[in-house]
Structure 1
Amino acid sequence: RIDGIDFNHESRSPIPSGHSSSSAADALVRNSKLSAAAPEFVPGNYASFQEDVYSDGSEDYYPETSLADFVQDFVSHLNSSPGSFESEIDYITDMLNSLVTTEDILQELVELIYVQSTSIPNFAYTGARLCNHLSLHIRLSPASGNFRQLLLKRCQTEYEQREHSVRGDPETQKRFHYYVLFLGELYLNLEIKSRKETPGRANVLLGALKELLNTLFSHPEDPNLMCAVKLLKLSGSILDDTWKEKGQSDMDEIIKKIEDILLDAKCSRDVRQMLLKLVELRSSNWGRVHTASVSSDATPDNDPNYFMNEPTFYTADGTPFTAADPEYSDKYQEILDREDYFPDIFVNLCAEYQKSCLLAQLRY
C-alpha cells in the first residue's frame, strides 16, 4: 500500500446463485451473435509486458507498482548493468520522489535499499553510490530525518549488534561481513555537504570502521580476518590518510593488531599470508606513487594515484578489473562463487592474487 493505494487489491462482485446463473448463461448463449473465429480483442492502450521499461522516458515506467517492487526492479537492473548507473539514476530518483510522500514510505525506502546493499555482495559499491545520490536528491525530509540521516541510523542499529553478529552462526557472520564491506563503500562514497565547505566524508563512519576492525581482529577466525583484509584493501589508504591528518595513529594500532595475530593466532597458512601481504602493502604507502599533483586538479593523465581509491580485483586468468568495469558484476560474482563453493582453492589462490596486484601496481 503506497499513500493509501493498494496495487494488489482486486474488487470482487457478489457471486449469484447457481440456478439463476445457469439460466442467464443459457439465455446469453442462445442469443449471442459472437463468433469463436473472431479476432482477439486487444485494448487500444495495451502495451506488451515484454517491452523494455528502460527503453524510453515515458511516465508509464513501471506502471502500477509498489515501492518494494520498484526498488527490486531497479536494483536488479543496476546490479546486472552497473555501467547504466549514470544514465538511469535521474529517472529512478524522479520515480522515487513521486512514490516517497510520507515519513513511513521514506523509512521503507531506506530499509529496502539497506537490505539490498548488505545482502548482495557485488552490489555494495553501486549501493553506496545509490545511497549517496538519494541522500542528495530525495526531497522528503520529515522531522525524523532525511534519507541520509535515516540511513546512518539504520547502519548504527547494525553496528550496535556487532559483538552479537561476529559470534553468531555462519549465516549471521556472513551478513555481518557484507555489512562491514558496505559501510566501507559508504564511507568512500557518501558525501556530506555543508554551507561553507566542499563536500566531505561522513566522519561518524570513520570511528565506526575502526571499531568494526577491532571487533573482527578480536575474533581472529579466518572469515573475520578475510573480511578485515578486504575492508583494508578497499579503504585502508583513505583511512590511513584521514587519521594522519587528524594526528592520530589508529592505522599503526591496527597494523600492530595484525602483527600480534600473525604471532599468536591460529589462522590458516593462507590467511596468514594475506595478512602479511597487507602489512607489506601498508609499508609501501598502499602501493601508491608519490606525486606533486594537487588532488583537486588530479586527472588520469597527471596523477598516477587517480584510480587508487577503487579496489582492483583479478579474474581466474589474471585479468584486472574494478567496480567501474561494465562487466564488474559478472566478474566479481565469479570470484564469489569460487569462494563459496571452493573455499580451500580460493584461499590458496589469494596469495597469488595479492602478488599479481602488487606487480600490477609496480608496473604503473
Structure 2
Amino acid sequence: MSDPFDRAPGAERSRVNPGEYGFVGGAAAATEEDTKPRLFNQREPLRQPRTSPPFPDCSPNSGDPGSGWNSPQQYRDSTPVYSDMNSVLKSSNLSANAPEFVPSGFYSYEETPTFDESETYYDEPTLADMVTDFLGHLSSSPGSFESDVDYIANMLSSYVSTEESLHELVELIYSKSTEIPNFSYMGARLCNHLSHHLTLSSTKGNFRQVLLKRCQTEYEQRDQAVRGDTETQKRFHSYVLFLAELYLHLEVKGAKGTLNRAQILLTALKDLMISLLSHPVDANLICAVKLLKLTGSVLDDEWKCTRQTHMDEIIQRIETVLLDATCSRDVRQMLLKLVELRSSDWGRVKAATAASSATPDNDPNYFMNEPIFYTEDGTPFTAADPDFAERYQEIMDKQNYFHDVDGETVSEGFDFEDEMEPEIEEAFENFCLETERKRQNRVSQ
C-alpha cells in the first residue's frame, strides 16, 4: 500500500522505489495525494502505437539511477528509435495541412447519393396540382383573369389528353367552384372559356357537355338534398348558386353562329327554385332569395319573351310562404324585400331621356356626370343643389379670370374691385353683345 504507482497516461502500472524520486515519507505523501480531489476523471490508457520503438531490457529498480525509463540518458543513447521514427514519417501519407483529420477506425455511415439519368430532378406536376394552383391564383387575384385565362387554357389543353383526364378536370373545377367561398362566379367564367378553347373532345362529349352531365347528377338529387342535414343542404346551396352563374356566363353557339345561353339551365333553375320553396326552412329560403336576386331579372325577361308565367308562379309561392311558413323574422323580411324588388322591375331604371329634351324632372341621371365643387369650408355641392348658381358665382367672383361663351380667355388677372372707365365699360358691353349674337347665329344655322 506504501508503494506509489506511475500515473503517466498509457504507462504500465509498475511499482517504483519511493526514494528513487526523492520522496520524503513516501507512504504519507502518497496518502495525501490520493486524498486530494481530482479535476478530471481518470481516463483509459491511450492505445499503444502500431510501431513502437524497442526499449532496452532494463529494470526500473536497478541500482543505476540513469537506467530507468525516465532517464534522459536512455533517450539520448537510443539511436535506433529515431531511425525507426524517421522511416515511419517518410512512409506516412499524413499531412499537417490536411483540411480535416479522420481517424483510421472512423467509418462514415452516409450513403453516397447516386444519380439516375432516367429520373428527372423535379417531378412533373399532376393535373390536380396544376388545377389547384390555377384556381387558387384566380381566387386570390381575380383581376388577372383576362390576362391569364389564355395561358391556363393552353396549359390544361396540353395536360388533358384522355377521356379520364377530361372527367378529372371537370370534377376538379366543379368541386373547387362549389367549395371555395365566392368562387362560383370566377369558376363559371373559367368553364365558359374552357368550353370554347379546350381542344380535347371525347366520345362522351366535349368539356361543356361533360360539365352539364356532372351538374345533372346533383340536379336529380334536389328533392333529397333540400331535406337533408346541414352539410348536405350547404353543398346543395353552393351547387345552386354555381348553376346560376353558369346560366349567366356559359355561352352556347347557335345554328347561325350566335352565342346564346344554355336553355337547359333555364328549366333546371326553375325546378331548383320550386324544390327550395317546397321545404321552406331558413337555409333553403335564403338560398332562394340569393338565386332570385342574382338571376331574377334575366329569368323574368326570358320567360316573358316566350309568354310563360313561371316568375309569377314563383312569386306567388313566396307570398304563400310568408303567410304560412314559420320562418325567422329576418328571413321573412328578406322575402318581403324580394317581392318589392320584383314589383319595381328588379330595380332597373328606365332608359334615359334624350339629351336634347332631358331635364332634372324627367331624367334621373341628369346630374350624374356633373362636376363636384367645394366651398371654402370643404362643403361639396353640384348642379343638383338649389343654391348652386349663387355658390358657383361666389367662386367665380373670387377668381381673377373668367371666360367667354366660346371658351376663349377674355381677361385674366382682372381686378373686379377696380372701377372701369365709362369708355372701357361701354366697349366691353358691346363686345359681350356682339359675342352673344354670333353664338346665336351659329346655333340657328
Give the TM-score category using the shorter length: 0.5 to 0.7
From 280, 288, 298, give the equivalent of 1:220.
Answer: 280
Q: SS in structure 2 opposite 1:286?
A: coil
- Does 1:285 pair with 2:345? yes
Q: Distance in 1 between matches of 2:309 and 2:258?
A: 26
Match of 2:314 in 1: 254
- Does 1:99 pair with 2:149? no
Q: Distance in 1 between matches of 2:99 and 2:150?
A: 49
Match of 1:14 in 2: none
Q: Distance in 1 between matches of 2:186 and 2:317?
A: 31
Match of 1:70 in 2: 130
- Does 1:84 pair with 2:157? no
- What amino acid maps onto 2:205 in structure 1? G
Match of 1:178 in 2: 238
Match of 2:205 in 1: 145
From 118, 124, 137, give the equivalent of 2:178.
Answer: 118
- What amino acid maps onto 1:253 in structure 2? E
Tell me how far 1:195 sits from its aligned partner.
3.6
Residue-by-residue CA offset, 1:166-191 (whole Å, 9 max, x unaligned): 11110110000000000000000000
From 261, 268, 275, give the equivalent of 1:208.
Answer: 268
Match of 1:275 in 2: 335
Match of 1:332 in 2: none
- What amino acid maps onto 1:97 in structure 2? S
Match of 2:227 in 1: 167
Q: Distance in 2 between matches of 1:202 and 1:291?
A: 28
From 291, 294, 300, give the equivalent of 1:231.
Answer: 291
Match of 2:250 in 1: 190
Q: Distance in 2 between matches of 1:257 and 1:143?
A: 42
The ranges of structure 1 where at least 4 consecutive aligned residues each deviate by more than 4 angstroms after the TM superposition are none
Q: Distance in 2 between matches of 1:161 and 1:121?
A: 22
Tell me how far 1:291 sits from its aligned partner.
1.9
Q: Superposition RMSD on alpha carbons, in Å?
A: 2.0
Match of 1:241 in 2: 301
Match of 1:47 in 2: none
Q: Distance in 2 between matches of 1:80 and 1:86?
A: 14
Q: Could you say if the C-alpha distance between residues 89 and 266 of structure 1 is closer, same or farther in structure 2, counting changes exceeding 3 Å? A: same
Tell me how far 1:266 sits from its aligned partner.
0.3
Residue-by-residue CA offset, 1:287-314 (whole Å, 9 max, x unaligned): 0012279xxxxxxxxxx9xxxxxxxxxx
- What amino acid maps onto 1:269 in structure 2? R
Tell me how far 1:63 sits from its aligned partner.
7.4
- What amino acid maps onto 1:257 in structure 2? R
Match of 2:418 in 1: none
Q: SS in structure 2 opposite 1:122?
A: coil
Q: Distance in 1 between matches of 2:352 and 2:124?
A: 55
Q: SS in structure 2 opposite 1:75?
A: helix
Total equivalences in the alignment: 238
Q: Distance in 2 between matches of 1:113 and 1:280?
A: 36
Tell me how far 1:35 sits from its aligned partner.
6.5
Tell me how far 1:143 sits from its aligned partner.
1.2
Q: Could you say if the C-alpha distance between residues 169 and 35 of structure 1 is closer, same or farther in structure 2, counting changes exceeding 3 Å? A: farther
Residue-by-residue CA offset, 1:245-276 (whole Å, 9 max, x unaligned): 01100000000000000010000111000000
Q: Could you say if the C-alpha distance between residues 138 and 271 of structure 1 is closer, same or farther in structure 2, counting changes exceeding 3 Å? A: same
Higher helix share: 1
The runs of 5 or more residues in structure 1 that have no matched partner are 1-29, 37-61, 294-303, 305-364
Q: SS in structure 2 opposite 1:192?
A: strand
Tell me how far 1:197 sits from its aligned partner.
4.3
Q: Distance in 1 between matches of 2:350 and 2:212?
A: 34
Q: Distance in 2 between matches of 1:89 and 1:222?
A: 38
Q: Distance in 2 between matches of 1:201 and 1:176?
A: 23
Tell me how far 1:221 sits from its aligned partner.
0.3
- What amino acid maps onto 2:157 in structure 1? N
Tell me how far 1:74 sits from its aligned partner.
0.7
Q: TM-score, normalised by structure 1?
A: 0.63
Which structure has the bigger radius of gyration?
Answer: 2
Tell me how far 1:121 sits from its aligned partner.
2.6
Q: SS in structure 1 opposite 2:340?
A: helix
Q: Could you say if the C-alpha distance between residues 267 and 101 of structure 1 is closer, same or farther in structure 2, counting changes exceeding 3 Å? A: same
Q: Could you say if the C-alpha distance between residues 209 and 127 of structure 1 is closer, same or farther in structure 2, counting changes exceeding 3 Å? A: same
From 163, 168, 185, give the equivalent of 1:108.
Answer: 168
- What amino acid maps onto 1:165 in structure 2? A
Match of 2:188 in 1: 128
Tell me how far 1:194 sits from its aligned partner.
2.2
Q: SS in structure 1 opposite 2:254?
A: coil
Match of 1:7 in 2: none
From 122, 146, 155, give the equivalent of 2:215.
Answer: 155
Q: Distance in 1 between matches of 2:181 and 2:239?
A: 9
**Percent of pairs with identical residues:** 68
